[in-house]
Amino acid sequence: MAVKEQFDQEDLQVSRALGWADIKESQKIKGVLYAQAIGIEEIPVNGKIQECLKLNYQGNYGYLPPDLIDEYDFRGLQGFLGKEFEFVVQHVDLESHLFVANRKEALTILAQKFWKTAKEGEVYEAFVRGVDPYNLYVIVNGVRAKLYRDEFSYSFVEDLREEVEIGDIIHVKITKLVKPGQKFKRMSRGKEIEAIADERGYLELSSRLLENDPWTNIVNYKEGATYLGTITKVHMEHGLFIQLEPGLVVRTNFPPNSRGALLRRGRQVNVKLVVIDAKMKSMKALVITPKKGVGEKSFGRRGLVR
């Protein structure tokens, strides 16, 4: 064996031994560790066979059962491979040199620490635990929260499931923070009501505010002028959503006597800006004529792909 390979093997053995010491210590004092999910294996858990995430902590292997990942009802574990999970060690099998991880308990511990130090305006990583067309369900340092579609990006997103997957990590800014038990005001059905945060506390988040505001470019547009735009969405009730540039989208009614074939997602149109309200970040516009003969374009995750 070459000298370098011998040293590499010795380093791995030392790292593994130190990692195993961390694992046993975590079981005793409930210290939070982090490990990557490297596989999915079926193992017996509480008398029945279950698919579990297989974790690698410094060369030591353990399992994270589905019911100890989170309260969210996951449909499968495939999207979690390669992701990093926080956990405390629930059980150590000295004979097989394996451990059982508990992520839910780790999240509770992290949340308790979070509420002691977190402040509004701070930026954190958020783990996406669930997604539907209009909301992201995330975990920020152990605290479960919701990120609304309007706060995801300045660019219009019709379905968040096309942008984000469960297990993804995004950066978010805390715009409102209410500690457990504190009173706060929130909007409900268009009205402001007073509420008391439960033991989970309450967070409002934005990833949009971490982007450059496209409305700073509104100075390049004038009321009464006509510009080339691209249809990003066609809605039978709300009309056309037309992008002037990434992040700057105006909604218009369907133009009279227009040919439906020319009003499809990806088509370019001439759009006249009737009103520009930079303070309220809104525009009113009219579609003049669809552009005939202009090829359709596809849209990627962040805007127009030419």
**Segment 55-75, tens digit of pLDDT:** 999 999 999 999 999 988 777
Type of residue found at 161: R
Task: Tell me what percent of the chain is helix, strand and coil, each rounded to the nearest 5.
Answer: 20, 45, 35
Q: Evaluate whether 241 touches 266 at the Cβ level (below 8 Å).
A: no
Q: Which of 92-101, 196-205, 230-239 has the highest mean pLDDT?
A: 92-101
CA–CA dist 201, 187 (Å, integer): 16
**What is the CATH T-level fold of the domain 118-210, as seen in this structure?**
OB fold (Dihydrolipoamide Acetyltransferase, E2P) (2.40.50)
Among 54-63, 130-139, 151-160, the least confident range: 151-160
Helix (H, G, I), strand (E, B) or coil at 191: strand
Question: Which pair of structure tokens corresponds to residue 144?
Answer: 């479960």
Distances (CA, A) of 145 to 74, 140, 172: 17, 7, 11
CA–CA dist 82, 103 (Å, integer): 16
CA–CA dist 23, 90 (Å, integer): 10
Q: Do domains 14-104 and 118-210 have the same CATH topology?
A: yes
Type of residue found at 103: R
Q: What is the largest CA-CA distance in the chain?
A: 81
Q: Locate tokens 């510009």: which residue? A: 227
Percentage above 70 pLDDT, the chain? 90
Question: How is residue 263 annotated by DSSP?
Answer: S
- Is residue 12 very low, low, confident or very high in pLDDT (cuts 50, 70, 90)? confident
Question: How is residue 224 annotated by DSSP?
Answer: T
Q: Which residues contact 1 (CB under 8 A, 6 or more apart)?
A: 9
Helix runs in the chain, H state only: 3-29, 103-117
Q: Mean pLDDT over residues 279-298, rounded?
A: 71
Q: Evaluate whether 130 touches 76 at the Cβ level (below 8 Å).
A: no
Summary mean pLDDT of the chain: 88
Length of the chain, in residues: 306
Residue 303 has pLDDT above 50, yes or no: no
Phi and psi based region of residue 32 (left: phi greater than 0; alpha: psi -120 to 50; beta: remaining): beta
Output 236 or 54, whichever has higher pLDDT. Answer: 54
Superfamily covering domain 214-305: Nucleic acid-binding proteins (2.40.50.140)
Of 61, 46, 132, 149, nearest to 100 by C-alpha is 61
Architecture of domain 14-104: Beta Barrel (2.40)
Q: How many CB atoms lie within 10 A of CB 39?
A: 13
Q: Mean pLDDT over residues 234-260, rounded?
A: 85
- Is residue 130 very low, low, confident or very high in pLDDT (cuts 50, 70, 90)? very high
Q: Which residues pair with 64 in a beta bridge?
A: 53
What pLDDT sits at residue 221? 96
Residue 249: alpha-carbon gap to chain centroid: 22
What are the boundaries of each domain within the chain? Answer: 14-104, 118-210, 214-305
Distances (CA, A) of 187 to 120, 204, 298: 18, 12, 37
CA–CA dist 299, 306 (Å, integer): 8
Of 268, 264, 249, nearest to 306 by C-alpha is 268
